[in-house]
A and B are shown apart, each in its own frame.
Chain A
Amino acid sequence: MNISTYRPLNRRRFLRGSGTMLALPWLEAMTPVFARTTKDQSGPTPRMGMFYFGTGMNMRQFYPEGFGKEARMSRILEPLEKHRDRFTVLSNTWIEHGGGHDGAYPFATAIAKGEKQQISPDQLAAEIHGKETRFPSLQFSVKRGTGFGSQALATISWNRQGVPLAAENDPKTIFDRLFRPTNAEQKARQSDEFRQRSSVLDAVLSDAKTMKKALSQTDRDQLEQYFNSVREVEKGLEREINWSEKAKPKPDLADYGNYQEAMSPEGNGKFIYEDYAKLMYDLIALAFQTDSTRAITYVVRTELAGGVYPEFGVSKGYHSLSHHGNDPKNLEDLAFVDTIYMKHWAYFLDRLQSIQDGAGTLLDHTMLGFSSGMGIGHSKTNLPTVLSGGGGLGINHQTHLQLRENTPLSSMWQTMIEKMGVEVSEGFQDSRGPISEILS
């Protein structure tokens, strides 16, 4: 074979080549992929997405005026007007350990930064649905990796060990993983590649075992992450082998952007956020449409860094703006930028609404919850929380719903995962129960 001529690395090629770069949830046991399991065949397939908009929003111009279905859209939410029956703005949500710039940590788990994390809601859903899709879950972000330790956390997904699951920010990389067909050369190489990966994993696992024997108890606990990770990668491999026989879906890309020429946000002069936002949201729609996965998290904006792009035409970064100091110009720019993000969100809802899924639309069968780790002025109250979609899953939208003061954000997550079929028997995070007002 002649794959061995000198070829320098290329990140995209690299990631395409092998393996699930995308994180895998922790599964008790791997069941045959195509075996339809516990799923109730009669109802629609539920999907869920969790979205993080770092550094809050200008909450002075966020909430609709009035409550209920007749509420008047605020300036920032105006772009969502035509979907008013398909979402609910939840006012009075809070995160006990949120506020400041540490809010991304407790966002999905209610666990403060610096403390041992727990499994996030998307991963609970993935434990149930992951067996039936090519990818148990996907992690998207504007920043790659986990960002763990810094305030600008890049992911909001955590596995059962409380380890953050790294996110991917490159639309082309994600697209290729989801849809790029395996070419002949790769196919020919595939069985060798699977075997090689598998034997390397076996070898390093046996290394870890010999190493473990020599370690002290505390060090063994550290090494546990290695064992767990290798096992997960093995399961991913197994899953990949199972799915390799089945061709990847070929979505109709007629009015979608060009993924092969997509730019990732990392320092390229040609990067345009508008295009990027659409590519990323469309990828989520495509992944759900093709049932490639049913749980996705997306850090649309991290804490502190970025958030504003040259084409927005404002002079400061999002973080600088959020330190508005009551300066009207800053507040105006902040609302302006927030509105841009909501226009993208409207685009996303349009897209999901335009896709037929069984008896309804994809939006009817997809629950999308977005919020932030802070409200305005780095507060932990008054978060910009909106639940969209899921009308066909029994979510009865109210447009604007006033919750009790300081209702934990986890209530929204609980509402969503229960609809995903996760059984919450002994309480969920700090939630006081699902949001009953929107359950029909």
Chain B
Amino acid sequence: MLKAGSRRSLKDHPKVPSAARRISLALRQAFRLIFCFTILSVPARADEVSFEDQVRPLLEKHCVKCHGSAKQKGDFRLDTLATDFSEAATASAWLEVRDNINLGEMPPDGETPLEGEEVALISGWIAGQQRAVEHRALSAGDRVLLRRLNREEYTSTVADLLHLKFPPGESPLDFLPPDGTAEGFNKVSAALLLDPSLMQLYYEVARGISERALVDGPPAFPTETMRLEFEEIDESRAIGYLTTRLGMRPLDDGLLLIDGSTRSFGLLNYPGERGNNVAPTPGFYRFTIRAGGITGENGPAPRLAIRQGHPKDEMRLVAEFEVKAPLDQPAEYSFVVARDELGGEINVEIVPGTSPYQSQRPGEEFRRFIEEVGKEKQFSEVLRLRGRQLAEGAGGDRSTPDPEKIDLEKHTRVFLDWLEIEGPLYEDWPPLSHQEIFFKGDGAEETLSYAREIFSRFTPRAWRRPVPDQEIEPIIGIVKNELAHGQTFLEAIRVGLTAVLTSPKFLYLFEPGGGNASRRLNDYEIASRLSYFLWNSLPDERLFELAAAGKLRDPKTLEEETNRLLADEKKSRFVGSFARQWLRTDSYLAFAPNQYLYKEYTPKLGKAAVTEPLVFFDTVLRNDLSVLNFIDSDFAMVNEALARHYGISGVEGDHFRRVTLDPVSPRGGLLGMMGVHLAGSDGLRTKPVARAVFVREVLFNDPPDPPPPNAGEIEPNIKGERLTVRERLQQHQEIESCAGCHRRLDPYGLALENFNVIGKWREQQDGEDFRHRGPPILIDEKLPSGEAFHSYDEFRNLLLARSDRFRRALAEKLWIYALGRPVEPTDDGTLQAAVERMKEEGDTLRALIKSIVTSPQFLSK
């Protein structure tokens, strides 16, 4: 057995320099690759390498001569090295072996080198052993471990339990720190730790919630209505000047807006508050505007944006919408949005704006805008704008508009009558939470027995199970103590409520279970597993009823309930949590595209790229579409920005919708989405290896072996050379010790080379310094199975041919998420059955979800 202390680096081995070696080193230096990913542990696969039959003979042949009983070069002996990786020193010695053979350091020059395949075999075995150890660290056999709620679950649970709606910045999500993840999800017990500072926060958040839920007297800021008649702007000393602009015409009963925006300075203010803000406190506010519009000649339909000054970008937009009511028959448009006390004045703008009037050199500004549109090849829009330029009184390209020549009738215009803001809104006062907890109403006698009634009603919902009287006693004790200290009944109940929400019975998914034998879950536990799986929250009334009636153990009821939960809007939490983590959308914006090379990239486009896969997932789930759509689909989910990026016409506005794709379009399926390529690039050039890792991990749950240490990445071309990313990567593959892994990995990423850094289709190399006429993108790869492909399309077909492996991978991911534990070898049969059933039932997520929730593992502790 090797002792950590006595081990010396294998690299102490004397090296024989040779020309060949120098070259290979230089190549290595030049073409190192980085792998930025974490290794997920996967269940044992059938093709596992055997140490005795495969690894040991290789070590004996190549290594033991110098690292065996006769010699121990570098104080390193391999023939007696144990194979138990749970021993840290052993594992670390093996990792050193792997790194050295991967780097080609061992065997040293002059000795028979290991073949690429042999390197891959040894290195694969070591990686597999290491993974198994990591896996064991996360798992408790096939048992589901006790775990606390993650912060998404916590927030949804209190929101549903107490009917609370949190404005941004006020939600427990804003107070509780982000949770740890394991196996890629924030549902796994091993990652959901609890430290003293989090405990303290749980207390403070619960206390805050109890103050929000239970109130004394009227709200500090009652709901008020603030109204701005737009004709007042003309009379305002502060902003009356606005109406002298060409883009605005004051009318007797309002304001005609043709271009630009008007604002509210001094005219909209919450009564009694200083400043220029309609919102004195964080909360929800209703904005109502009465407006009508008309579309000018060839013009865009009239749209309005209401904005508010705010230090946070994401808080600025209040609403943007199309004004469909005619100019002479204005209608009211109403929106409820979250606002807070940091806001400033309100601004109403007609969009899209070209703002030709207000610049110093209007003609120049307009000309430039037209040029930009032209670059995007929207030629009809260019013609329209040219027309408008004339209508605005501009003579030639660079002339200043002449007010005399302006023809208002040709413009898109909006009539603004008034704007009203109502808030802060309280759905009920006192809030529903208050009414439900103090169920006897205002006049009730405030006795200890009332407190007892209150908590025997409330606690079973909060703790998601029947609660025997004696379990409430500690809470009643608190209430009693508070009353004895002269606190009001309300305050005493608040402290009691704080305790209910700080209790481990609330914070943990409590599934009592003794000994070693697994047991069937009871109905309440099933209800919770189901609702936390699909809603991230506590069971609703119906689930509680079914649990009380003992019906949830019936698979048929369970499937009906699954349908019901999936039909509820709360399922969007499942999409936002599972799909976000499975598809790794949080990682898409890690590298910003170089702003000089990729000018068409905007933050808005980046945001759309993150949303696209989630909307796509939601569509597949909602419409019971086949999950194979993730590999290839005949539709895409896009908004205007993305559609333009993909070259799809006829899509306007920021909302996502389904469009049918041209059969030759490369879009469709996950790998056609911009975000995936953004994630698999470093802002300058594509990273085929990172893309390959994404494909193997996300679509096939098949993480490749980790790279050797200090692996670099694809470097820029040496001056004068113009090698494509693929060519540079292939040079790396020529290094024998790298080839073993990379030949199996790279094809999955090189298949995607037609997608550039920002996911745009390309036929020629672009980015870096390939601005003009880069060499053509060449695809000529082989999957490890030997199947060749020569285009992205052929690659996608090969992926489709592996649909069974994809189904299985998806099932595994969903399994981890649903159970909050890693996949275990004993799950194999159940997962296989789930995949079979999914296949039979049209490959829907619904079928897969149903298999999981009716599986013995989901239903037992």
Q: A residues engaging B (CB < 8 A)?
A: 1-11, 14-15, 17-24, 96, 99-102, 114-116, 144-151, 154, 159, 163-166, 192, 195-197, 199-204, 206-208, 210-211, 214-216, 218-219, 222-223, 225-226, 228-230, 232-233, 236, 267-270, 304-305, 315-317, 319-320, 323, 325-327, 377-380, 406
Contact = CB atoms under 8 A, between A and B. Distances in A.
5 contacts: A8-B283, A203-B499, A216-B514, A319-B591, A327-B716
A212 B595 CA distance: 57
Contacts of A11: 169, 174-175
A230 B199 contact: yes
B216 A19 contact: no
A18 B311 CA distance: 28
Contacts of B36: 100-101
Contact of A4 (B198, B488, B592, B712): B488
Interface string B291-326: 000000000000000000001111000000000000
B447 to A, nearest CB: 19
Contacts of A2: 216
Contact of A150 (B181, B211, B488): B181
Given A96-B92, A204-B502, A218-B143, A4 B216 contact: yes
Given A219-B145, A219-B146, A378-B34, A146 B503 contact: no
A166 B198 contact: yes
Nearest to A208: B504
B594 interface: yes
B178 interface: yes
Contacts of B503: 203-204, 207-208
Contacts of A151: 38
A101 to B, nearest CB: 7
A207 B502 CA distance: 10
Given A148-B180, A151-B38, A225-B195, A116 B508 contact: no
B204 interface: yes
A146 B180 contact: yes
Query: Which residue, A166, A206, A219, has most C-beta atoms of chain B within 10 A?
Result: A219
Contact of A19 (B200, B495, B714): B200
A229 B198 contact: yes
B481 interface: yes
Nearest to B424: A8
A317 B199 contact: no
List 8 A-B pairs, minimum CB-CB distance, nearest first.
A145-B177, A149-B180, A4-B216, A214-B512, A232-B196, A229-B199, A148-B180, A219-B146
Query: Which residue, A6, A96, A225, has most C-beta atoms of chain B within 10 A?
Result: A6
B490 interface: yes
Contacts of A204: 499, 502-504
A65 B809 CA distance: 53
A389 B683 CA distance: 40
A8 B715 CA distance: 53
B505 interface: yes
Contacts of B281: 8
Given A232-B196, A232-B199, 10 more contacts: A9-B175, A10-B170, A17-B204, A24-B196, A145-B177, A195-B485, A204-B503, A215-B513, A226-B148, A233-B203
Given A267-B314, A325-B716, A166 B179 contact: no
A304 B679 CA distance: 13
Nearest to B219: A6
Interface string B584-595: 000000111011
A20 B203 CA distance: 11
A148 B176 CA distance: 13
Contacts of A19: 200, 203-204
Contact of A99 (B140, B490, B710, B712): B710
Nearest to A5: B220
B199 A325 contact: no
Contact of B682 (A22, A223, A323): A323
Given A14-B208, A147-B178, A218-B140, A377 B282 contact: no
A221 to B, nearest CB: 9
Contacts of A316: 592, 594, 683
Interface stretch (B112-120, B383-391, B470-478): B470-478
Contacts of A315: 594-595
A325 B715 CA distance: 5
A272 to B, nearest CB: 13
B474 A202 contact: yes
Nearest to B222: A6
Interface string B437-481: 000000000000000000000000000000000010011011001
A226 B514 contact: no
Nearest to B314: A267
Contacts of A10: 170, 282
Nearest to A405: B9
Nearest to A268: B311
Nearest to B477: A203
B140 A199 contact: no
Contact of A222 (B189, B208, B714): B189
Given A114-B134, A165-B195, A192-B487, A200 B495 contact: yes
B217 interface: yes
Contacts of B711: 378
Contacts of B499: 199-200, 203-204
Contact of A199 (B181, B196, B220, B478): B478
B180 A5 contact: no
A36 B177 CA distance: 36
Contacts of B512: 211, 214-215
Interface string B168-196: 01100011011111100010010101111
A223 B508 contact: yes
A1 B147 contact: no
B6 to A, nearest CB: 13
B215 interface: yes
Given A144-B177, A267-B312, A20 B200 contact: yes
Query: Which residue, A3, A99, A378, has most C-beta atoms of chain B within 10 A?
Result: A378
B553 interface: no
A383 to B, nearest CB: 13
Nearest to A197: B203
A152 to B, nearest CB: 10
B506 to A, nearest CB: 9
B200 A236 contact: yes
A219 B820 CA distance: 14
Nearest to B174: A11
A27 B199 CA distance: 17
A7 B197 contact: no
A366 B515 CA distance: 52
Contact of B197 (A22, A203, A320, A406): A22
A108 to B, nearest CB: 15
Contacts of B836: none
A96 B93 CA distance: 12
Given A4-B216, A203-B503, A267-B313, A9 B196 contact: no
A219 B147 CA distance: 8
Given A4-B490, A7-B211, A215-B513, A379 B216 contact: no
Nearest to B36: A101
Contacts of B148: 226
A4 B211 contact: yes
Interface in B511-527: 511-515
Given A200-B502, A269-B312, A380-B709, A5 B216 contact: yes
Contacts of A147: 177-178, 180
Interface in B703-722: 709-716
A418 B796 CA distance: 61
Query: Which residue, A20, A24, A200, has most C-beta atoms of chain B within 10 A?
Result: A200
B34 A166 contact: no
Interface in B523-568: none
Given A6-B220, A149-B179, A208-B504, A229 B194 contact: yes
B207 interface: yes
A150 to B, nearest CB: 7
A305 B181 CA distance: 17
